[in-house]
């Protein structure tokens, strides 16, 4: 019997989503290429990189190179904040309150992210949310950078994305764990849940305004994911132990990767068992 078709769903969760990388490294170690990948928010970004030909090890190396030094990150954020044209500054098109998600992608991953879905070696879908229709939007073709920029557009952090007469925001508010978007012919479905729960600050009795915004979003995403899991469970659900990290803890990339590194071996053990069970069934 041939190797089963494996579908991989990478969920949303901000910086916690860097723990998707050890899962992909496990697949590489096993010599397995996913039949299809779906991703929401940070899962869409990492999934797009992997579907575009980057290995798990390359994703880790690039992450540490890009986010490993705060001075480099600060320099890139300054570049992101500055308008591309002087006319944009004069015209008031520059905003220092929220980032432009597409501009962030250009500055941080512009040299490695493919431009179009047609360039990907693995079928991939990115999930965003239609703000006014309150509906899930699935991207599987066309401009990949536009799709990922919409999927990662976390409210409060990024400006909504206006694309094809539609206003789009982060896909996590409609489908934080998009395993149900994978093709029906997948034999084994893997879902990596990195939503987490709000973290209590021992120095304060109640969360700050910013913490409340992100915490409320986490609660919403948890509710959606838990309801989906009750209806239908993936063959392999992975919950990285990274609850101590916050949505915007990207400067803790090294710590997140170190704390989730054990997934590389544990996923291989669990997935190997799933494949064995599939082959003998």
Nearest-Å Rg of the Cα atoms of the chain is 18
Euclidean distance between CA atoms 47 and 20, whole angstroms:
9
Residue 201 annotated among the catalytic residues of the structure: no
Q: Among candidates 91, 90, 121, 115, which has minimal Cα distance to 102?
A: 115
Q: Which of 41, 149, 225, 260 is catalytic?
A: 41
Annotated catalytic, 170?
A: yes
90-110 as b/e, with b when 16 or more CB fall inside 10 Å? eeeeeeeeebbbbbbbbbbbe
Beta partners for residue 133, in sequence order: none
CA atoms within 13 A on the CB side of 140: 11
CA 3 vs CA 29, 123, 180: distances in Å: 15, 17, 21
- 77-83 contacts: CB < 8 A, separation 24 or more? 79/107, 80/104, 80/107, 80/108
User: What whole-number distance in Å separates Cα of residue 165 and Cα of residue 231?
Assistant: 33
Selecting among 100, 146, 170, 193, the annotated active-site residue is: 170
Residues annotated as catalytic (active site), given as ranges:
41, 170
């Amino acid at each position: 019997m041939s190797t089963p078709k494996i579908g991989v769903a990478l969920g949303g969760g901000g910086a916690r989503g860097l723990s998707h990388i050890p899962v992909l490294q496990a697949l590489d170690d096993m010599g397995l290429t996913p039949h299809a990948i779906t991703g929401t928010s940070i899962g869409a970004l990492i999934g797009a990189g992997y579907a575009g030909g980057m290995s798990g090890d390359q994703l880790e190396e690039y992450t540490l190179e890009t986010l490993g030094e705060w001075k480099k990150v600060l320099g890139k954020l300054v570049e992101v904040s500055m308008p591309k044209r002087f006319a944009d500054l004069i015209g008031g098109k520059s905003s220092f309150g929220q980032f432009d998600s597409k501009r962030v992608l250009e500055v941080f991953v512009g040299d490695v992210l493919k431009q179009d879905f047609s360039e990907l070696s693995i079928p991939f879908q990115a999930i965003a949310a239609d703000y006014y229709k309150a509906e899930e939007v699935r991207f599987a073709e066309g401009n990949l950078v536009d799709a990922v920029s919409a999927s990662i557009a976390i409210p409060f952090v990024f400006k909504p994305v206006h694309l094809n007469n539609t206003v789009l925001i982060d896909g996590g508010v409609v489908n934080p764990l998009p395993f149900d978007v994978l093709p029906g012919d997948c034999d084994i479905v893997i879902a990596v849940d990195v939503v987490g729960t709000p973290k209590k600050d021992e120095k304060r009795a109640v969360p700050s305004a910013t913490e409340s915004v992100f915490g409320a979003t986490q609660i919403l995403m948890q509710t959606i994911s838990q309801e989906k899991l009750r209806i239908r469970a993936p063959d392999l659900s992975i919950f990285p132990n990274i609850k101590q990290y916050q949505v915007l803890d990207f400067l803790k990339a090294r710590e997140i990767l170190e704390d989730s590194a054990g997934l590389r071996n544990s996923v291989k053990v669990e997935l190997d068992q799933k494949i064995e069970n599939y082959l003998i069934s």
